[in-house]
Structure 1
């Protein structure tokens, strides 16, 4: 009887241990917030940057990580950048995992000045999504005027420091995405009817549609299928007449690269893309409400009537000219 009780106790202990081992550890609980600080910061700038980031995140203590030229080479050069070990780094980030809520980015002013000159908050968010980041708050700042690449490399390094190394192919695609979207925004910055939010909302929607149509990466979408997705989202975001053919091709090539990176195969990718699109829309409700009103059936019918009238006018001219020679 005693042996039987001992055996039963041992079996129960093993079963309990097995259940505990099988229970997943929540990423937000195991991930320690990390402040990634550029190696080129002076002592005062480092202190100010750390204080700025912790204040924005509402944290008293965080782990620290120094981002160097070697960090830039490791994470950014595969996508075409040309950093070296001697490259300076000033832009910094604080990475905080959450249990849900999608990817959120706040570019925090340093001494009341936004010194991130190129990468927008929504571009950071889309890049993080492609790289494989899920449910995280990212705070970005810089003590000097800089494009913000160092902060993004720091985000990737922060995940590696927490034992959650991101896929290299996805990081490569994410960096290509930043270069592509920031370039398109720069080219269209003075055009009426264009905003960076429209472009990033469109791209987030494209990612969501790709994940849906590919069954989360189980099927490979053709370039033509991806092109149709691009055109659909450009139309929804009222960008059809703003994004030129070259920019459209850049977006298609980018999405092909994202698909090849394996990003779509993540079980969270579609949901995170949807959360990102919803969040972008919520951050500019008046803009997207206006775009929604422009895409009503009534307006589409009106535009179709205008187009039909134009076609009929030129057809009438062609018929009249043809009649002159009959």
Structure 2
């Protein structure tokens, strides 16, 4: 087989921005400029055109998938001759720090909740499933925060299993980006939603070690009905990370309870050096070793250009 033929073998169909935008069809615009300002995160670019071209077609695709999943669920109940509990359609969103996952998750949360047949949509971030700072210090991995080993994967899997079992009330821990720690005794309550969005940097990560009993081995992504990876060139992500760090000096870092309060008065050069050090020691190794290798496990890859706007979409072939 020639090299050219091998290169063309891919599980994905690739769309340009223009080709993807055409798939929106007649889905109406239901987001105002005021809502967009509330949805976008630090240093992200989000406008009505991006909503119309990228996220309206995407929510239409997810809507069709969710409806098909509901129909399959009903057919299975008929086959099993019993009425099973309602279970949510779960969407996973992965990607590097500073790539814009949180903004995309919030946009999808807002748009999907406006479709008929699945008005109850919840958004849960995996930050709450990080071990507490005290536990990370105890384990000697505070400098590995965000790496797979810094998460209580057992509790995350338990949470997802309860969701997929149709449990009426499920609780998730809550994380504070001000104190940079899990908030003790605070919980996010999820009560029988139609759709749940799970957002986290490495939610597509398989276990680092094989289970003794491989029949019992479960991945976080095993609970996902649809998964998205947010991608961009390394130099762009690094630039966005530095710019976000600089902006946080003027906002969150100035909060009296901020974990990073001591960095609020750094000048631009000092802020760049500090952010680059964190990137080089923690975020870049995590991206290359753990996060980016999971990219092709996603059902959809959103590729961003230098201006934080999506310029290419790859969709897994059915």
TM-score range, shorter chain: under 0.3
Question: Normalized against structure 2, the TM-score is what?
Answer: 0.23
Larger radius of gyration: 1
Higher relative contact order (CA 8 A, sep 6+): 2
Q: Which structure carries more strand by proportion? A: 2
